[in-house]
Homo-oligomer: A and B are copies of this chain.
């Protein structure tokens, strides 16, 4: 069993915010390569109106394809009941609902207060979803480009409310405001409140602190991390918030520390080649694939 669990969010958070569209066939090849590299959870798309976000128009087909890959948990994002029902129909193993802890971001993004959005998620998941895992993701949990500071008490309260009816709760630094001290403080506070239901950490690399924040989260017991190949991604509703934490560098960090990820770096770099050739104009980040692995590098046992 790997010591940390990574969820690759590039096909969703990455492509949803990329400037260039990836073809359905390329998405399938990329996802298959990611699974082959050892990713055991992949967020493959979101069920949002195709007119609003054309990059996600093929999500049902992508979910149907991906769920056939043995041993990989397929995640889809849903912002509302319609999206949730489409996700369940398509066969997603897990559905994640974003709930913004920032009042301003929530109102601007979904025209609901955080409390209304929690109610909305509650309504959604009271509909049938046999065998489908539900995650409540607290977004803008570390700050917001509109509101600035997001009170930690709000984050803890929203996480606790989501934990009361979701299978798992994640905390997301949607706009890249988090710092390691804050990461340790907030994850510790939320864990104290909801225990094992606190799972994933979703960081962005907007100010270069992605790996430092992941390290900080690891040090307070977080063992599940979202990341995006090539650092693709961001939030279109939060200006300047580009760049998820980079999968390649995150895997390298953990493996070089002797913490197993279950991911094969050589195969991961091959998956990156598929990404790069599918959308060659898109900026793709990551130091480790460029510098290469250290001489004599050994992955964690």
Residues of chain A touching chain B, judged by Cβ–Cβ distance below 8 Å, are 143-149, 175-177, 179-182, 205-209, 211-212, 214-216, 219, 240-243, 246, 249, 252-253, 256-259, 286-288, 291-292, 294-296
- CB–CB A287/B253 < 8 A: no
Assess whether A207 is in contact with B252, with CB atoms less than 8 Å apart. Answer: yes
CA distance A296 to B177 in the complex (A): 11
A199, chain B: closest CB distance, angstroms: 21
Residues of B within 8 A of A206 (CB): 287, 291
Give Cα A143–Cα B293 distance, bound, in whole angstroms: 12
A-side interface mostly: loop
Of A143, A212, A215, A243, the most chain B CB neighbours within 10 A belong to: A212
Which single member of B177, B246, B259, B291 contacts A240 (CB below 8 Å)? B291
Contact residues in B for A257 (Cβ distance below 8 Å) = 179-182
Closest to A177 in B: B294
Query: Cβ of A145: which chain B residues have Cβ within 8 Å of it?
Result: 294-295
Question: Inside 8 A of A211's CB, which chain B residues have their CB?
Answer: 208-209, 211-212
A210 to chain B, nearest CB (A): 8
When chains A and B are docked, how far (Å) is the Cα of A214 from the Cα of B208? 13
Which of the residues B182, B287, B296 comes within 8 Å of A208, measured between beta carbons?
Answer: B287
**Do A207 and B249 have beta carbons less than 8 Å apart?**
yes
Chain B positions within 8 Å of A181 at CB level: 256-259
Whether A208 contacts B294 by the Cβ 8 Å rule is no
Knowing that A180-B253, A207-B252 are A-B contacts, what are 18 other residue pairs whose CB atoms are under 8 Å apart, sorted by A's residue number?
A143-B295, A143-B296, A145-B295, A148-B294, A148-B296, A149-B296, A176-B291, A179-B253, A179-B257, A181-B257, A181-B258, A182-B256, A206-B287, A207-B288, A208-B246, A208-B249, A211-B211, A219-B219
> CA separation between A291 and B143, bound complex, in Å?
14
24 A-B residue pairs with Cβ-Cβ distance under 8 Å, sorted by A, are A143-B294, A143-B296, A148-B295, A149-B296, A175-B294, A177-B294, A179-B256, A179-B257, A180-B215, A180-B253, A181-B257, A181-B258, A182-B257, A206-B291, A207-B249, A207-B252, A207-B287, A207-B291, A208-B211, A208-B249, A212-B214, A212-B215, A212-B253, A240-B292
A143: chain B residues at CB < 8 Å are: 294-296
- Most chain B C-beta atoms within 10 Å of own C-beta, residue among A207, A241, A258: A207
CA distance A209 to B214 in the complex (A): 11
Q: Determine how close the nearest CB of chain B comes to the CB of A131; give it in whole angstroms.
A: 37
Contacts of A258 in B (CB 8 A): 181
Q: Which 6 A-B pairs have the closest CB atoms?
A: A148-B296, A208-B287, A208-B249, A179-B256, A181-B257, A148-B295
